[in-house]
Amino acid sequence: MPIDFHTHILPGIDDGSRNVEMSLRMLAAQREQQVDEIVATPHFYAQKDSVEEFLLRRQRSYEKLKTAMEENGFDQKLYLAAEVYYFQGIGSAGMIPKLCVEGTQTLLLEMPFAQWDSAIYADVEKLVRHQKLKVVLAHIERYYEFQKKKEIWDAVMELPLYRQMNAGVFLKKRHKAFQLAKEATTIILGSDCHNMDTRHPNLAEGRIVLVKKFGEAFLQKTDRLTREVLQ
């Protein structure tokens, strides 16, 4: 069964689901697409929040949703995690492992929407090599247009990390998305769903397009890799 690795399905914690009712609708859409495992990745911004406060708010949101899931017969498995936005010095920040997918050393990292530089590269390298984290770069397709100078992009992509792409990009900006997926050879797939309107759960749609383009073996590799980073 597919795993949605990137979602904003927890209620009332970020710019994703506004309330429990919306979260249940999103879960219903996921269930229709046979998505039984979902990684909840609310945004974390170090400039706005402390790790302790964030984890407390995330737990409260999760408990509300979990109760509603049980009352309404939803049995999907939720993994608690975060989408951590890059900040200067993140590579040496001791609290970062607390934001990994619970029970793992896997971190979903949102990179700057600007030209990357050597300091950004150094931070990501420290996360990978010094903190020994499995770093998953969130929606890599969204940064590419900002990288006018590709040297740092290339250097980051050569690090032993993982690349996540949003299912929706394969439904719209296909050419560039296919190119990035092909260069990566293996990706992690997520819907990055936020609501039921403009950014709804669409993992199944993206998977269909990927199979048509690259074949079933590509998708099987994606599923194996996703499960690997959750272990």
pLDDT of residue 112: 98
Dist CA 188 CA 79 (whole Å): 15
pLDDT digits (tens, 9 = 90+) for 62-87: 999 999 999 999 999 999 999 999 99
pLDDT at 173 over 80: no
Tokens of 150: 């590709």
**Contact (CB, 8 A) for 82 and 52:** no
Tell me how many degrees the CA angle 197-102-97 measures, rounded to the nearest 5: 110
pLDDT at 227 over 90: yes
Nearest to 151 by CA among 178, 122, 118, 114: 118
pTM of the model: 0.97
pLDDT digits (tens, 9 = 90+) for 186-216: 899 999 999 999 999 999 999 999 999 999 9
Q: In the chain, pLDDT over 90 holds for what percent of residues? A: 96
Dist CA 37 CA 102 (whole Å): 14
Torsion of CA 30, 137, 224, 210, to 10 degrees: 60
pLDDT digits (tens, 9 = 90+) for 86-114: 999 999 999 999 999 999 999 999 999 99
Dist CA 107 CA 130 (whole Å): 14
- Average pLDDT of the chain is 97
Task: Give me the DSSP letters along 166-198.
Answer: EGGGGTSSHHHHHHHHHHHSS-EEE--B--SSS
Compute and round to an integer the Cα radius of gyration of the chain. 17
